[in-house]
Amino acid sequence: MKRRVTNQIRRLRFAADEMTQAELAEAVGVTRQTVNAIERGKYAPSLDVAFLIAEALGVPLDDVFSLDEA
């Protein structure tokens, strides 16, 4: 079985006062394009970036990312 990392970044951004990708990117220290790629599942973030995203969104890491079966 192949497994893949999924995320709830888009939903959590909107729950966080409709935070934009640019605002999240600035808080994390990456580009907006990087946030977009992570959000769409086209790029897997480093562990450091994953923790920074969760911190910026004010939620635990496992509320942002999960491992699903593809």
Question: What tens digit of pLDDT does each residue of 3-57 get?
Answer: 889 999 999 999 999 999 999 999 999 999 999 999 999 999 999 999 999 999 9
What's the predicted TM-score (pTM) here? 0.91
Q: Which long-range contacts (CB under 8 A, 24 or more apart) does 46-55 make?
A: 52/27, 52/28, 53/9, 53/24, 53/28
- pLDDT at residue 68 tops 80: yes
Mean local confidence (pLDDT), 54-65: 98
